[in-house]
Amino acid sequence: MKKIVALMLALAMTASLAACGSSSAPAETTAAAETEAAAAETEAAAAETEAAEAAADETAAADAGELVADEEGITINICHASAEETVLHRACVKYAELLNEYSGGAITATVYPNGSLFGVAEMNEAIKDGSTQVIAGSPGAMLSTSLGFFELPNTISSVEQAHEVMQDGHEFRTILNGLFDEAGVRLQAIEPCDFRMLTSNKEVKNFSEINGLKIRVMDSEIPMSYWAQWGAQPTPIAWPEVYMSLQQNKVDAQENPYDSILGSNLQEVQKYIIDTRHVMFYTAFMMNKGFYEARTDNMKAIIDKAANDAAAFAYQDALDSSAANRQKLEEAGMTFIEFTQDDWDQMRANATEADEKIKASIGEDLFGQLMGALGL
């Protein structure tokens, strides 16, 4: 009887195990299917995320005006005559960096400061004949007689006004673009840097005391004309010789923005800074017209974007550094002399000979349009 009971228990256990085994196979199949479905869903979600990110990148690139370079191996030399401590030089370095970045390495740009590749006069010829691709600095009559308008004294009242009238679309800028084109040069971007100030070893307390001052000027007929009309003795001296000329008392004075004075250590050989604010110094990027026109539309857009972004950088840099530069000059021992509105008005009123030279170059009507665009 015991054997029969044991046999029945064994058969029951076998049947139970068989039932368990038959139920596990469908469970395993269902779990695998669920895992596979979850993986597919994850993969689909990742694909959607990747597509969304790609679309966002494309939108951002479009918003930023990003273009793909379709030319290779382009070399651009950027020449200027200022010291490496100036806003102008920093802007040129930024321009070179952006040309490389925006073109994905298709453009290689090199900056030559301090007139190291060309002197000032040679630089203005080199940009027209294509010996260099870009020059940077403040335009003037040495580039084209018509551009002597930049050198007319006391036509700009503030850095902010200069910024406004130099923007694309402003009447003043539109006329300027035409004048540059006629000279064989493309004005890519331009922003004000700071005013030229008079520095001197003789105290000049007002407009009348400019009389008799022996001042170093660029070899350009417009500044020579107005300084002479103000009673000074303008003397053309090459920029590398200015420090020594002041030190040896060959001239009493010179004119430049604060950062150029500091960059050339003129505070070591000058006693006074006079607040003449007579001419605005600009950070302008000027490109040989033939070189620019030979580029594809994509490369032109890349070059223009780099120039405009670098000029915007220069404008902010100038705003940030002007007051600090003046403080450094005063801390170095220079005495600052304030001019009044009456002094500035007399400087403008007594620049008629320079005005007539520009009228003879561009015509009285165009001269009137430019002055009108400045509110004068």
Q: What is the pLDDT of residue 67?
A: 77
Q: Return mean pLDDT, the chain.
A: 88
Q: What is the pLDDT of residue 18?
A: 39
Domains and CATH numbers, the chain: 74-373 (3.40.190.170)
Would you place residue 7 in the very low, low, confident or very high pLDDT band (cuts 50, 70, 90)? very low
Query: Per the structure block, which two tokens stand in for 349?
Result: 């009123």
Q: Which of 41-45, 95-99, 198-202, 345-349 comes out lowest in average pLDDT?
A: 41-45
pLDDT tens track for 48-81:
655 554 444 443 333 445 679 999 999 999 999 9
Q: Is residue 206 classed exposed, middle or buried when 0-12, 13-18 and 19+ CB atoms within 10 A define those classes?
A: middle
Q: What is the pLDDT of residue 48?
A: 60
pLDDT exceeds 50 at position 195: yes
Q: What is the pLDDT of residue 24?
A: 42
Average pLDDT estimate for 196-219: 97
pLDDT exceeds 80 at position 6: no
What's the chain look like in SS3?
CHHHHHHHHHHHHHHHHHHHHHHHHHHHHHHHHHHHHHHHHHHHHHHHHHHHHHHHHHHHHHHHCCCCCCCCCEEEEEECCCCCCCHHHHHHHHHHHHHHHHCCCCEEEEEECCCCCCCHHHHHHHHHHCCCCEEEECCCCCCCHHHHHHHCCCCCCCHHHHHHHCCCCCHHHHHHHHHHHHCCEEEEEEEEEEEEEEEECCCCCCHHHHCCCEEEECCCHHHHHHHHHCCCEEEECCHHHHHHHHHCCCCCEEEECHHHHHHCCHHHCCCEEEEEEEEEEEEEEEEEHHHHHCCCHHHHHHHHHHHHHHHHHHHHHHHHHHHHHHHHHHHCCCEEECCCHHHHHHHHHCCHHHHHHHHHHHCHHHHHHHHHHCCC
pLDDT tens track for 216-270:
999 899 999 999 999 999 999 998 899 999 999 999 999 999 999 999 999 999 9
How many CB atoms are located within 10 Å of the residue 88 CB?
A: 29
Closest to 211 in 3D by CA, of 54, 111, 347, 46: 347
pLDDT exceeds 90 at position 359: yes
For the whole model, what pTM was predicted? Answer: 0.80
Query: Per the structure block, which two tokens stand in for 64?
Result: 């930023």
Query: 121: which residues sit within 8 A by CB, 6+ positions away?
Result: 142, 219
Average pLDDT estimate for 175-179: 96
Query: Among residues of the chain, what percentage have pLDDT more than 70?
Result: 82
Average pLDDT estimate for 197-210: 98
pLDDT exceeds 90 at position 147: yes
Average pLDDT estimate for 19-44: 49
